[in-house]
Every structure is written in C-alpha cells, then in structure tokens.
Amino acid sequence: MKKLALIALGLFAPFAIAAFGQTTNATLSGTVLDPQGAVIPNASVVATQIDTGQDHKAQSSSDGQYIISNLPIGRYRLSAEAPGFKKLLIPSIVLQVNQLAEVDLKLAVGAATEQVTVTEEAPLISTEDSSIGQVVQQQSIESTPLNGRNFWQLIALVPGASYTPGGQGTATGGSSLRASVVNVQINGTGSIWNGWRMDGSDITEYEQGGTNIQPNVDALSEFKVFSANMPAEYGQSPDVVSVTMKSGTNSLHGTVYEFLRNDIIDAHNYFATTSKNVLKRNQFGGTLGGPIRKNKLFYFLDLEESRQLQGITFSDIVPTDAERTGDFSGSTKTIRNPFTGTPFAGNMIPHDMISSQAQFFLPFMPTTSQATFNANQVLNITKGDIKVDAVLTGSDHLLARYSIADNHETDPNQFPALKTQDLTSRAQNFAFNETHTFGSRWLNEATASYYRDYFVFGPILGGTNYTQEAGIAGFQETELSPSFPYISLSGYSSFNGSGTGNFPKSNRIRTWQYGDTLSYTSGKNDIRFGGQMWVQRHSFYNGQYQEGQFGFSTQFTGDAFADYLLGLPATVGRAYPLTLFGNRAIQWAAFFQDNYRVNSRLTLNLGFRWEYNPFYRGINSQTSAFEPSTRTGFNPNSNGKIIIPTDKSGHLLDPTAQPVTSQLIPLFTDRFDGTGPLHLPESIRKTGPGLYVPRLGFAFRPMNDEKTVIRGAFGMYPVFLDTNMALQWAKVPPITSQQSLNNPVPAPVFVNSPATGEFFWSNPFQFVGSSLVAPNPNPGQPCTGSSWPGGVGPMLLSCVQPAISSASAEMNHTMMYQYSLAVQRQLFKEASMTIAYTGNRTSHNQLIDTPENVPEPGPGNIQSRRPFPQWGVASIGTTMGIANYNALQATFEKRLSSGVYALVSYAWSKCLDNGSVESSPPSLELLHRNYGPCSYDIASNLTVSSVYQLPLGKGHFLLGDSGRVMNAIVSGWEFAGVLTDHTGQPFTPTLSSDVANTGISGEWPNRIGSGKLSHPTRTRWFDTSAFTIPAQYTYGDSGRDILRADGLVDVDATLKKTFGLGESQDRKLEFRFESFNVANHPTFSTPNATIGSSSAGKVTGTLNANRIFQVAGKFYF
C-alpha cells in the first residue's frame, strides 16, 4: 500500500495546484440537426457567458452530438453554425449547479450570414442525469425568510431533508447564529455525515458535522443538494450540499444591508410566566463585485457583522434558606442520620456535622431569592469572503477564494456566582481552482483547498483550584488549568463548573485537499477521471474533570442536599487533563465517470470509485482499542486488555504523549497489549487494499422528447469515520488515567443500621491513593481496603479501576448502499413534477460510547461483578450498527415566471437502525434490542416554498396605467413564505434509577400497554401507566424510540417592497418585514420520559420559537 501511495503521489506531483475536482460547474450537451432531423457533423457550437464575455466552444461529432463541460453556472448565449445553414442563436440559457443540461439545436437551411434567433428557457428537466437532488435557486436564497440568515435552513426545502430548529427557551432564541453542528438530516442520514462543498472545495467539519464556513446569504449564487446517487467524483459522505459563490462580472454590482430583531415586537414564550427576555440583534454588511480588467480579471467580496444580546432566564431549584443551615423541619422528607440509621431529631442536621467542603461551596449556590434571574448572552460574529476569477489565456482559467468566520461568545452560568464562560472560534478556507483546455475535447481541472478551524472554550472561574481550597484531597496532580469543579445534586440545580463539558478545552481542525480531474468529450461520451487526496489533522486539548466531578443523590439521608451537607457523595471522578491529542490520516481516492449517450433517448451514467481511507492514527501515537477476548482474535487470553501503539518490543511509541504517561506505563503493563507484538499497524485497525465502489445509473426518455425522463441508479458510498468518535480513544491508561468511584450503601445488617458508604467528600480516594497514578499492590486485581473508621463493615474497592473510552479492535468502514427510481415530467412551460422512490441500507454503522464491561443484572457490588473488574465502565465506539431508509418522495417546482415561483416537497419515509450515531443501548449485549426508528426519523414531511410578485403598477394588469407617484407606491411588492409540516421525532421512556444494578443509566421500563394517546396534551403527552418499573435486578422489556413527540407546524413569511432608483434595474432600495412562526403555533418539545418521575409525560418547552419579527433594509447597485 505504501508503494501504491507513492505512485499516486507521483501522479499528482506535476500539478502545482490540485484537489477535489468535485466541480459545481454545469455541462451542456445536445444534438445538432437539420430541418428534417438528420444529424449535422462538424457544426461549431459556442456558449458565451453573458456576465463575463467568455466563450466555451465545441464541435459536433460525426453523429451530430456536442458536449461542453465545466461551464460556470450563470446566463449563457448559445450559438451554432455550419456550412449551408443559417446561424442559430439562443440569446439566454441559465445553467444551474452541477446541471447536465441537454439542448438540441435545429439549424435552418440558408446562408451563414443569416441568423435565426429563438427563445429557449433553461431546460426544466435534466435528461442525462440519474442522481437525485434539488437545486435551490437564487430567487429562494434572496426571498425566503431565514432566521439568523443561515443559508443551510434552505436545505429543508429538499424532499427527504428535515431541519429541526432550537426552542425559544434556548440561548439561541429560536435560531443559531454561531457556526456549529448543522441539524439537517437528508434521506435518513445523520447530520454529522452530510458533506459540504463550496466552489468545489470541501468545507465539511469532520469533528462535529456541518460546516463552520457559513457564507453570507447575499454572496451565494445557488446551491444543489445531492440527496442520493451522486456520481463517482464525490466521496467521503453519502450526500453533499454543493454551494456556489457569486463571481465578479464586467459590471460593478453590490449590496448594502442591515437586518434587525428586537424582543419588543416578538411574542411571549408559550410557557413564559415572566416578562420577555431581552433580544437585540443587528446583522449588517454588504457585497461588491466587478471587473479588475474587463473580460479578463474579476473580483467579488462580502463582509457581514452580527451583534446579538440575548437574555436568558434561569429558574434554579435550590434548597430553602433554612435547609442551607441544616434545618429540614419544613420538609416533608424524613432526613436520616447515616451514622446511626435513625432520623435526625427535629429533622435538623447539627451544625457541627456540616462538612467544611459543603460550607466552602455553599456561597456559590443561589439562595431562594436569587433562584430566578435573568442574564445576558453576548455573541459577536464577523465573516467574509474574497473571490478572484482570472482568464489567464483563452484556454486557462484561475479561481482563488478566501473565506473566514470569527466568533466570540460569552455565556452566563445558571449559578451567577460562577460568572460567565467565553467561547472563541475562527474558521478559514483557502480554495484554488485552475482549468486548462486542450483543443475542443480535453479539459483538465486542478484544485487545492485548505480548511482550518479552532474552538477555544474557557474554564469556569479559571485561575484558582477551588477543589484544593475546599480541602478535598486527591487532586494535587490535576492543576494544569485550575478552575471550578462540577457538583450535581439529584432533584436540585447543579454547580455547572468546568467539569460539565470538560472545560477548558480547545479543538483545532485542519484539512488539506488535493487532486486533479481530466475530462474528455467525444460524441456519445462525457468522460471524467482523476484522483483526490485528503490530509487531515485534528488536534485537541481537554481539561476533562481535572477539578473533580461530585454527584450527590438521596441514598444516605433521603435528600441530595442533606447528603451534600454531610459530605457524602454518591459518585466522584477525577482525571488528568489531556494535553495535545487527536487524529491524523492521509486518504486517497481515484474515480472514473462516463456519461454515455447510447442514443437520443437513453444515457448511461457509469462510474467507479476507489477509496483508501485508513483508520486514524493518534497524534503522538495516542489511540487505543478495547480487546475483550470474547470478540477478537488478536489474543484469546487478553482478559480485557487495551491495545495501544508500540514498537516490535512492546514499548510505547511515545512514552511522553501525556504528562503522566511515563508514570502509568509500569503500573498498567499487565493491562495492555502492543501493536508491535500483535503485528498490527499504528492505527491498530487494518485498512486493507481500499474500497472499490460502483456508481451506476440511467436516464431514459420514454416519449422521445425532453418533457419526460425515467431515471434509476445504484451506488455504494463509504462514509468518513466520525472524528468525534476517534478522539475518545486516547482516554485510556497508560496514555492517561481517569477514575470514577461509586460510594455504595452497604446492605443493612439490622433495621436502622448505619449507612455511611465507603468514603467522605474530604478524601474520597483515600483507599485508592491520593495520587492518580498510585501503584496497585495487586496489579490487575481488585483490592480490599480496611474497614471504615468506626467499624461499619467490609468494603470492596478497586485500587486502580479507571473508566475507559476506547473502541473495538475490530472495526469496519461504514458503507451505505443507495438505490433510487424516479419519474420526472414537465407539466407546462415553467413547471415540472417528480415522483421518486429512494432507499438506502447502511452496514457497519458507527455507534459512539456504547457501554461495555457492564455486569449482568444482579445483587452485589457492581465493580466486582464486571466482566473485567480491573476496569470501570468502558465507553466503546463500534461499527456494529445497521440502518435502512425507504421513502416515497414527490416534488413540484415552478420556476419564476409571471411573478410566481413555487417549490413543493413531500416525503413519506421510514428510517430504522440500532443506534443513531450517539444513541446506544444500555449495554453492548442489548444491541439487538435497540433496533427501532432512527432518533431523527420523520414519517411524513411536507414543505411548501413560494414567491409571489404582486402584479401591480406599470407593466402589470392591475394599475398598469399608474402615474409616477402612484406607481412608486403600488409596484415592487413581493410576498414569500415557507410552510413546514412534519410529524414528530421518536423518543424513549427510561428509568431514573439503576434497577438492574449494572452501573448504567437510561435503562428501559417494562411496557404493559402502547403508551400512545389519541389526543395528547402538554400535561399528559403519553400514558405513563403503560410503563412500570421492572423487578429488581432485571432489564425492562420496553424498547427504543417507541413514542413520538409533537410534530412541527411552522409558517415563515416575508413581505418586501422595492423602490427603483433611476433608469437602471440594478439600482434599487428594498425594505423587508419578516415573521417566523407567523401563526404563533407552539410545537412542543419532547416530554419528560423518565418513568417514576412526578413530571413524566409532561411537556415543559417548545421546539420552535414563538412568533418572531425581523425588519431589514437593503440597497442594490
């Protein structure tokens, strides 16, 4: 394979600029005919781009066919001429993103000096393409109301795609401005697997999905969503959003705009009991494009600033002022004294029994008078693009683009004493594309791209080690980034300290892309072949829970806050911060695609692709695999060992990978195997010779015209490995260490026997060792500590039992098999209808954090019952998932004419899997019971998008004879809207307690009824009596995703008024008034599904925002 890689590198080396070849450009083809329908060979065909004056030439073959490839999208003037025939001119044809357009040219007999001009609209139907997709045109981009001006919301207009908004109660106020995970699912594919391309450059965020390059809406020309059966030049993902940015032209054009939102004109939240939160949002910017040198050199640039102040209401559940002092006399709960087993006298905890740790942290918890308060989130975003197009010679064209998006966010904490947290990010993309034509048949396209982004999440109250100041032992080694710990109390609001999200942390994603595509057109063939290369390096810093995670429940006293006061945590955790770690890989691909015109009615799309996608290697060789002997053949005597990269002698490749690695190696020698002695690669998982995948399809015109086409296709699509999954693999000994301890309540020896557990908050690791890397006196085995001071009884506690995050040693590449059959018909001049069946099946689906090393349900200490008691719980990534999707989809589209545009999309579908990326069963052994609807399954999905330009004023049939003043008032009005109506997503009822006694949360209840209600309400969304708590030490028989949340019904609308300025149609002033959720219809969020909870079945939030208004002004020139 190394030899193959060197050969491939040698092939690419001659290209100074190289990368994807996944062009956004169009292809124009057809047949040149005489008046009797006979073919005309050697006819000259020229497509001239109107905005830039560039000519693209072809010559018809012996059978009269012509093909012009790699045409930038836009307006063209098409001409054809041949000796003995009049010149044919079609003055305007508009080509769209990735379009395979077919236009037959019929010449009239006559002198070449004569000309015949015909009016030909852009082809409504692509008669040579078997893929399934939808172009979102510039009219939709400019007119559709977009909350936050996020272009990706338009993807929901595509059949089979769905976008789920955030609720008004969230920090985003119903829309996310910050570049983040794009929550769009396409044809049953999770949002993390969507591919994103901009001007042919890959801008996919491989760590979380989506893209952090979110271009200015006014800078987009149009984009296409490939939802199924893409051609062979596309890889890495099963669907792609291909975006094209505007280019400069021979004329100077631009826009200046500002969009405003203010809470004064917004509706109240459906569940709000207080006044509205403040919201001040300003989004302003502009675009500018034009020539540097006419017909030769063009530029386009844009800049947008977003400033937002968003109020957030926090309603904390906190103890009363009396309870803060230990006085629970006003509580209905009986507070037990865990040292005696009897209730406290008067339900009051003596002050001298309150731990010093509880007293230290208590001032950070709000009092009852401070429990409900408002705080402001501040968000500032700057983003922009610069694009240059150059015509170097008649056969060379160069494109260069730079894009950037900066974000700074300040987020308040639900406990105001913990202050705020800062988030800073920057995403950048450099893209280059050079095309060179060789004669009339050969064209070479070389592109190069660099994508880079980073996130920096600050700590909570950074700079002070609050855990040590509180007098908690065992954290003296974890102070690289001192901050505030995470403290949770069951039934109360929690101290959301740095451990909540492993803060501080930083992500740095870098992807270099190289490749080259060679195109050949001749008669019946449009051939493209080439190669591609990705160089990926994703590096991270993770604070983990270095300052500690402390969880308090009701198990000792009957109340979590009383447990807190006594310093008796139910769980504790600690970990050493992870310095530089992450993933790296070099991936290769080659492809061949021939769009072969068998005859005038049938085109075959014949593609083949090879991908070499090695599993990620860890930065500084930090990666791992979990090796239970029951499933792997590497070492049948492994007894649950970790596999890590080593040399042939079994020594770590980088013993200094983390600050504690060298200290941990001798302590865990008996618990890991090396890749060297096992003859495994550094990535641990063998890649093989690569993946060979076909892409086959056809497009057939049954009626021998351009109004009806039947298309079908089958293809195999490898899916990239989720780097968010891979980055977890470094969190194992001996690379680093993390420990989680349960503080079990001993079984009662007699009634009211004491139950203090095995450790106090002041020194929870005293029997483990104060050092995180303390040696185990019995390597690889549990050890028993001495009896608790005071003689409570025996205890069983592992000296070193770290929890681990790793992955299966036997992983496979995720593969999606796609198949489709569609019929498309042009209904009238500007409208078409498509009916399609689309389906896919996924093998080796990726599942993240699947619990393993889980004991069988039963009594007794959890740790001692684990299959591998030398480890705690193991969160394991696997490719043991399966999935399938089937859908009937329908699309009606009417292009803009007579002032009306419409796009109607509908999908009736079913998505099933045994885990939706991060939706895993309570344990790996229950994976077969996890099969059910995908977590993002939407059974019925209707979207209607429309634009209506009111027929008022001069040139229209209403008030067409208006005077100048009246015409200025009545003309230029436009209405645009989007209706979304889809069924709700599924959810799973779970238990609040660990009935099975396996140490895993999220267990299922028993199901004794359907649980569904014919008329659900927000106070009783499902029948909670249909679920019961299983018998102790058993799993419930209910299933995953068996109930449905509320469906989304939403209408967004825009009303625009445009004033013309002067004689030029390009100079105009536009005012917009937009409303989101016009009907103010609440779509309820998922109800509380915790069986046994007093709020089970109740809905407390909305999925969509209540009615929002936005106003804007825009100047075009």
- Amino acid 167: pLDDT: 37
Output b/e per residue, 537-561; b: 16+ Cβ within 10 A.
bbbbbbbbbbbbbbbbbbbbbbbbb
What does DSSP assign to residue 561? Answer: H
pLDDT category of residue 794 using cuts at 50, 70 and 90: very low
| CA–CA separation, 723 and 721 (whole Å) | 6
Asked whether the predicted pLDDT for residue 170 surpasses 50, the reply is no
Q: Which helix (H) or strand (E) holds 887?
A: strand 874-897
- pTM for the complete prediction? 0.85
- Amino acid 789: pLDDT: 33
Which runs of E-coded beta strand occur in 146-278? 161-163, 184-186, 194-198, 201-202, 220-228, 239-245, 253-262
The more confident residue out of 290 and 112 is 290
Backbone phi and psi for residue 636, each to the nearest 5 degrees, phi listed first: -65, -15
- Amino acid 177: pLDDT: 54
Residue tagged 């844009």 (tokens): 302
Residue tagged 């911060």 (tokens): 577
C-alpha 984, offset from chain centre: 20
pLDDT category of residue 304 using cuts at 50, 70 and 90: very high
| CA–CA separation, 280 and 501 (whole Å) | 28
Residue 94's alpha-carbon distances to 26, 120, 221, 880, 894, in angstroms, are 10, 10, 12, 46, 15
Query: Minimal CA–CA distance to 87: which of 45, 59, 27, 130?
Result: 45
Please state the rounded mean pLDDT for residues 20-27.
65
pLDDT category of residue 488 using cuts at 50, 70 and 90: very high
Asked whether the predicted pLDDT for residue 176 surpasses 80, the reply is no
pLDDT category of residue 705 using cuts at 50, 70 and 90: confident
Output b/e per residue, 347-364; b: 16+ Cβ within 10 A.
bebeeeebbebbeebeeb
- Amino acid 769: pLDDT: 56
The more confident residue out of 207 and 685 is 685
CATH architecture of the domain with range 132-317+370-510+543-578: Beta Complex (2.170)
pLDDT category of residue 565 using cuts at 50, 70 and 90: very high
Backbone phi and psi for residue 803, each to the nearest 5 degrees, phi listed first: -75, 145
Beta carbons of 1083 and 1102 less than 8 angstroms apart: yes
Beta carbons of 958 and 887 less than 8 angstroms apart: no
At 305, list the tokens. Answer: 């600033």
Output b/e per residue, 92-101; b: 16+ Cβ within 10 A.
ebbbbbbbbb
| CA–CA separation, 1100 and 1088 (whole Å) | 8
pLDDT category of residue 10 using cuts at 50, 70 and 90: very low
Please state the rounded mean pLDDT for residues 1070-1081.
94
CATH architecture of the domain with range 17-117: Sandwich (2.60)
Asked whether the predicted pLDDT for residue 759 surpasses 70, the reply is yes
- Percent of the chain whose pLDDT exceeds 90: 46
| CA–CA separation, 590 and 772 (whole Å) | 48
Instruction: Give 378-419 pLDDT, tens digit per residue.
Output: 999 999 999 999 999 888 999 999 999 999 999 999 999 999
- Amino acid 608: pLDDT: 97
Which ranges in the chain are annotated with CATH 2.60.40.1120?
Answer: 17-117
At 388, list the tokens. Answer: 């240059």
According to DSSP, the residues that pair with 618 across neighbouring strands are 583
Asked whether the predicted pLDDT for residue 1107 surpasses 60, the reply is yes
Beta carbons of 911 and 926 less than 8 angstroms apart: no
Please state the rounded mean pLDDT for residues 714-725.
86
Average pLDDT taken over every residue of the chain = 85
- Amino acid 12: pLDDT: 34
Instruction: Give 491-501 pLDDT, tens digit per residue.
Output: 899 999 888 87
| CA–CA separation, 98 and 241 (whole Å) | 11
| CA–CA separation, 943 and 946 (whole Å) | 10
Output b/e per residue, 681-712; b: 16+ Cβ within 10 A.
ebbbbebeebbebebbbbbbbeeeebebbbbb
Amino acid at 404: I
Residue tagged 């059978």 (tokens): 63
Please state the rounded mean pLDDT for residues 577-583.
86
Q: Kindly write down the DSSP assignment for every residue of 660-679, as one continuous string.
A: THHHHTTTSGGGEEETTTTT
Helix (H, G, I), strand (E, B) or coil at 42: coil
| CA–CA separation, 1102 and 1077 (whole Å) | 12
User: What is the CB-side half-sphere exposure of residue 150 using CA atoms within 13 A?
Assistant: 25
| CA–CA separation, 227 and 218 (whole Å) | 24
- Counting runs of H as helices and runs of E as strands, what totals does the chain give? 9, 56
- Amino acid 8: pLDDT: 36
Rounded (to 5) percent helix, strand, coil in the chain: 10, 45, 45
Determine the Cα angle at 686 with ends 684 and 691, to 5°.
145
At 594, list the tokens. Answer: 């021939």
- Amino acid 639: pLDDT: 76
The more confident residue out of 336 and 774 is 336
Query: Minimal CA–CA distance to 855: which of 652, 1047, 1000?
Result: 1000
Number of CB atoms found within 10 A of residue 44's CB: 17
Q: Which helix (H) or strand (E) holds 356?
A: helix 356-361
| CA–CA separation, 214 and 206 (whole Å) | 15
- Amino acid 306: pLDDT: 95
When mean pLDDT is compared across 105-119, 308-322, 1072-1086, the lowest value belongs to 105-119
Asked whether the predicted pLDDT for residue 489 surpasses 70, the reply is yes
Which ranges in the chain are annotated with CATH 2.170.130.10?
Answer: 132-317+370-510+543-578
Amino acid at 351: H
Instruction: Give 867-891 pLDDT, tens digit per residue.
Output: 888 888 888 888 889 999 999 999 9
Amino acid at 287: T
pLDDT category of residue 641 using cuts at 50, 70 and 90: confident
Instruction: Give 670-685 pLDDT, tens digit per residue.
Output: 888 899 998 999 999 8
The more confident residue out of 940 and 13 is 940
pLDDT category of residue 938 using cuts at 50, 70 and 90: very high
Most confident of 55-59, 138-142, 617-621: 617-621
Beta carbons of 659 and 579 less than 8 angstroms apart: yes
Asked whether the predicted pLDDT for residue 768 surpasses 80, the reply is no
Asked whether the predicted pLDDT for residue 321 surpasses 90, the reply is yes
Phi-psi category of 544—alpha, beta or left, where left has phi over 0 and alpha has psi -120 to 50?
left
- Amino acid 298: pLDDT: 96
pLDDT category of residue 747 using cuts at 50, 70 and 90: low
The more confident residue out of 686 and 18 is 686
Residue 118's alpha-carbon distances to 47, 87, 114, 619, 678, in angstroms, are 15, 11, 13, 62, 72
At 888, list the tokens. Answer: 């009937």
Pairing of strands 336-337, 342-343: antiparallel
Beta carbons of 303 and 286 less than 8 angstroms apart: yes
Backbone phi and psi for residue 654, each to the nearest 5 degrees, phi listed first: -140, 90
Helix (H, G, I), strand (E, B) or coil at 729: helix
Show the 3-state SS of 304-323.
EEEEEEEEEEEECCCCCCCH
Based on its alpha-carbon atoms, the radius of gyration of the chain, rounded to whole angstroms, reads 32
Asked whether the predicted pLDDT for residue 545 surpasses 50, the reply is yes
- Amino acid 1099: pLDDT: 93
What does DSSP assign to residue 763? Answer: -
What does DSSP assign to residue 366? Answer: P
Residue 1036 CB partners (closer than 8 Å, separation 6+): 991, 995, 1003, 1004, 1005, 1006, 1007, 1029, 1030
| CA–CA separation, 935 and 605 (whole Å) | 34
Pairing of strands 100-102, 26-33: parallel
- Amino acid 749: pLDDT: 42
Backbone phi and psi for residue 694, each to the nearest 5 degrees, phi listed first: -85, 155
Asked whether the predicted pLDDT for residue 1069 surpasses 50, the reply is yes
Instruction: Give 1006-1063 pLDDT, tens digit per residue.
Output: 999 999 999 999 999 999 999 999 999 999 999 999 999 999 999 999 999 999 888 7
pLDDT category of residue 140 using cuts at 50, 70 and 90: confident
Helix (H, G, I), strand (E, B) or coil at 682: coil
Residue 186 CB partners (closer than 8 Å, separation 6+): 155, 158, 160, 161, 194, 225, 227, 239
Most confident of 24-38, 842-856, 917-931: 842-856
The more confident residue out of 701 and 502 is 701
